[in-house]
Amino acid sequence: MRKVLIVGATSAIVNATARCFASEGDRLFLVARNSERLEQVADDLRARGAADVHCHVMDANDFAAHAAMIDAAREAMGGLDTVLIGHGTLSDQQACQQSVERTFAEFNTNCLSYLSLLTLLGNHFEQQKHGVIAVISSVAGLRGRQSNYVYGAAKAAVIAFTQGLRNRLAKHGVAVVDVRPGFVDTPMTAHFDKGLLWAKPKQVGARIHKAMVRGEDIVYAPFFWRWIMLIIRLIPEAVFKRLSL
Amino acid sequence: MAGNLTQYRSWGGYPRAQHVAVARPAWRDQLAAIVAESGPWLPFGNGRSYGDVCLNDGGKLIDMRGLDRFIAFDDEQGIVHCEAGTLLAEILALAVPRGWFVQVTPGTRFVTVGGAIANDVHGKNHHRVGSFGCHVRALTLLRSDGTLLHCSREENSDWFAATIGGLGLTGTIVSAELQLRRITSPLIRQQSIRMYNLREFFELSAESERDYEYTVSWIDCLAQGANMGRGWFFRGNHATGTRGPTHGQGTQLKFPIESPVSLVNHWSLRAFNALYYRKQWADRATTTVHYQPFFYPLDGILNWNRMYGKRGFLQYQCVVPPDCAYEATSEMLKRIANAGEGSFLVVLKVFGDKPSPGMLSFPRPGATLALDFPYRGTSTLALLNSLDEIVFEAGGALYPAKDARMSGAHFRASFPQWERFKTYIDPAHSSSLWRRVMQGEAS
């Protein structure tokens, strides 16, 4: 039975992944901001078969609360061997361009809170010498585009940080999984028109669960984003800067 | 808020509707703010009803699929409490390994709980257990004024009766509590019996009621004369042993694209019916099958409705009272065979006399016949109108969940509680079907 810490448990993709752990009878420790919604998620995961489910209300931007949250998770579950970090906000690029505060706020949520959690958890897992840490980054972190570069830059930092952490922890038997979802039809993206490239959270969640169980390194979800992003990264900058992406 | 408006169709693809907005709540607490905005609104489940009962042309939809959480699952009592957008498939995936099964299931497991309640659906065991609504213990209903009503047989029982079979019009069903039934195996012990004519169907139905929980039959709708009503009678019970297939529909096929023209035509229909009637040599065969192919043969092919092409199809399901069931059914089959219309799947079943709990529930004692017709324009509509004559002459009814064309007069005659029901309609809710069947009625 896994002892799984889930940060951002009310997000659609994370929730879909949590359902996979629940149906395998794992022990779950859920973290999110909204206590009422967190309880609804917990009820669902209990019904789906989770061995037990603990709720912890925390704003990921409250960095000072991170260490106590991790201690609480270890205490409640009698250990900790699996982590999924997947909270986030889809930044309003236009608004960020007009406001330094807003840009930094997006960085707090989508980048610095990840780095804080990964620093604390990295040390724990390094000593423990087993387990899986997974983060949800984004294909947006692979190349800056005018429509979404504040979010993309935050995720780019998460990607590089995760890569370094994986390099550090590999020799200690700890897997660090970087999940890069493409377009996913969630409440966060409700205002977009959906085309063929859009995936459902259930599908992406199942892929993340599989990657975590296997301890994979870098995962694109769905898979075809690996090839789309390869092409996007191969476009010479002289051309790329003229595109309206 | 927006989403793709064009993806919201009914299963039959006829008629099409233009919706001005679709709300996609992910949390129960978001519903009140949605229905407080100007409507008219209609909750939309998984789009498995056929005609226009799930459409709201010129109005707005609430896509309920985001509300798919379990609230509680009581392993001891077999009670599941879940949000209205949960699919029966999701309940079965959880319940079957724990030894529970839904009391009533329609022919697809891809319906939401809210949709199953709003249409008070029925299954192959109607003669034993009644309709879906008979096993709803309680539901919560959100009215557009923000009131949340807890409804059951004891509490707000009038709202309970209005909402079961209430076509999504009494407000938004937020969650429901369902009673499940015990099973000891995911398997079904099934018997298929060849029927040589319609008379045999009624004999087999009467003979099977006592010993078989599930009964249904397939009819060759092209057979005429002495062969009229020939087909297969299927009856089954939940198996008690565990010997048999362990998996249901493992890999699902998907109908990839919408066919430009209907693949169901006179020739394909004739070939299919002739072959299916001769699917096995023996007149009787008993087999043990997984519950999925037994209850959901069509769920093995996702989007099978695409084979009817972009003009879509009409499903016709009626019920005729017991005293004239044979005459009315044989007259309908005669007209269908003469027209050479109809489809692969023609289903005939006898309903039991357990009262349905909803004011507008469709199931009632008698024989129910269901079949699809590829939509070919006026010739299709003319045939269905001529079937209507038989149904309403006999004092029968058509199933709103499958209907796209019955007249308001017929609706009002066959759902006599409609006037009482009307007082329970939420002022911010409406649907294409409701506006259609209220035409010609001074409001």
Q: Tell me: the pLDDT tens digits for B128-147?
A: 999 999 999 999 999 999 99
- Round to whole Å and give the CA distance between B123 and A76: 45
B28 chain-A contacts, CB cut-off 8 A: 40
Residue B397 pLDDT > 50, yes or no?
yes
Does residue A101 sit at the B interface (CB-CB below 8 Å)? no
Residue of A36, A40, A189 to mutate for B, most B C-beta atoms under 10 A: A40
Residue A201 pLDDT > 70, yes or no?
yes
B22 chain-A contacts, CB cut-off 8 A: none
- Round to whole Å and give the CA distance between B407 and B436: 8
The alpha carbon dihedral of A181, A111, B25, A55 has a sign of positive
Closest CA to B14 of B290, B402, B415, B443: B402
Our CA-based measurement puts residue A25 at a distance from the nearest CA of chain B, in whole angstroms, of: 12
Q: Is residue A114 among the annotated active site residues?
A: no
How confident is the model over A192-205, as a mean pLDDT? 86
Confidence tier at A175 by pLDDT (50, 70, 90): very high
Q: What is the pLDDT of residue A186?
A: 82
Contact A175, A216 (CB under 8 A): yes
- Round to whole Å and give the CA distance between A89 and A112: 13
List Cβ neighbours of A10 (8 Å cut-off, separation of 6 or more). A32, A33, A34, A37, A38, A41
Does residue A35 sit at the B interface (CB-CB below 8 Å)? no
Range from A84-93, A135-144, B246-255 carrying the lowest mean pLDDT: B246-255
Peptide bond between residue A201 and the one before it cis (omega within 30 degrees of 0): no
Confidence tier at B252 by pLDDT (50, 70, 90): low
* pLDDT greater at residue B106 or residue B308: B106
Q: Could you say which of A37, A41, A47 has the minimum Cβ distance to residue B73?
A: A47
How confident is the model over B314-322, as a mean pLDDT? 96
| DSSP conformational letter for B253 | E
Three-state SS annotation for B50-116: CCCCCCCCCCEEEEHHHCCCEEEEECCCCEEEEECCCEHHHHHHHHHHHCEEECCCCCCCCCEHHHH
Neighbours of B392 (CB within 10 A): 19
The string of pLDDT tens digits covering residues A102-114 is 999 999 999 999 9
How confident is the model over B370-394, as a mean pLDDT? 93
How confident is the model over B277-292, as a mean pLDDT? 87
Cα angle A124, A127, A128 (rounded to 5 degrees) comes to: 80
Percent of chain A whose predicted confidence (pLDDT) is above 70: 100
Interface pTM, i.e. ipTM: 0.91
Contact B315, B371 (CB under 8 A): yes
Q: Do A193 and B2 touch (CB under 8 A)?
A: yes
A47 chain-B contacts, CB cut-off 8 A: 70-73, 80, 82, 94
Query: What DSSP letter does each residue of chain A carry, written as one string?
Result: --EEEEESTTSHHHHHHHHHHHHTT-EEEEEES-HHHHHHHHHHHHHTT-SEEEEEE--TT-GGGHHHHHHHHHHHHTS--EEEE-------HHHHHT-HHHHHHHHIIIIIHHHHHHHHHHHHHHHHT-EEEEEE--GGGGS--TTTHHHHHHHHHHHHHHHHHHHHHGGGTEEEEEEEE--B-SGGGTTSPP-TT-B-HHHHHHHHHHHHHHT-SEEEESTTHHHHHHHHHHS-HHHHTTS--
Q: Do B69 and A37 touch (CB under 8 A)?
A: no
A49 chain-B contacts, CB cut-off 8 A: 94
Please give the structure tokens belonging to residue A134. 């997974």
Q: Do A36 and B94 touch (CB under 8 A)?
A: no
List Cβ neighbours of B157 (8 Å cut-off, separation of 6 or more). B151
Our CA-based measurement puts residue A11 at a distance from the nearest CA of chain B, in whole angstroms, of: 10
- Round to whole Å and give the CA distance between A60 and B66: 24
Q: Could you say which of A37, A47, A190 has the minimum Cβ distance to residue B3?
A: A190
SS3 assignment, position B175: strand
Mean pLDDT over each residue of chain B, to the nearest integer = 92
Please give the structure tokens belonging to residue B62. 């609430």
How confident is the model over B88-98, as a mean pLDDT? 96
Confidence tier at B2 by pLDDT (50, 70, 90): very low
Q: Could you say which of A37, A47, A190 has the minimum Cβ distance to residue B72?
A: A47
Closest CA to B123 of B144, B93, B103: B103
Our CA-based measurement puts residue B95 at a distance from the nearest CA of chain A, in whole angstroms, of: 10
pTM above threshold 0.90: yes
The string of pLDDT tens digits covering residues B21-66 is 999 999 999 999 999 999 899 999 999 999 999 999 999 999 999 9
Does residue B30 sit at the A interface (CB-CB below 8 Å)? no
Contact B383, B333 (CB under 8 A): no
Confidence tier at B251 by pLDDT (50, 70, 90): low
Residue of B8, B31, B69, B79 to mutate for A, most A C-beta atoms under 10 A: B69
Our CA-based measurement puts residue A37 at a distance from the nearest CA of chain B, in whole angstroms, of: 7
* pLDDT greater at residue A57 or residue B313: A57
- Round to whole Å and give the CA distance between A207 and A213: 10
Residue A192 pLDDT > 80, yes or no?
no
Does residue B74 sit at the A interface (CB-CB below 8 Å)? no
HSE-CB of B357 using CA atoms within 13 angstroms: 26
Length of chain B: 443
Confidence tier at A189 by pLDDT (50, 70, 90): confident
Percent of chain B whose predicted confidence (pLDDT) is above 70: 96
HSE-CB of B319 using CA atoms within 13 angstroms: 22
Does residue B2 sit at the A interface (CB-CB below 8 Å)? yes
- Residue whose token pair is 């100007």: B38
Confidence tier at B90 by pLDDT (50, 70, 90): very high
- Round to whole Å and give the CA distance between A139 and A221: 9
The CA dihedral of B142, B147, B150, B151, to the nearest 10 degrees, is: -70
Please give the structure tokens belonging to residue A232. 């996007």
User: Which residues is B83 bridged to in the sheet?
Assistant: B175
Contact B113, B137 (CB under 8 A): no
- Round to whole Å and give the CA distance between A76 and A27: 10
Q: Do A47 and B27 touch (CB under 8 A)?
A: no
Q: What is the pLDDT of residue B1?
A: 40
How confident is the model over B281-304, as a mean pLDDT? 87
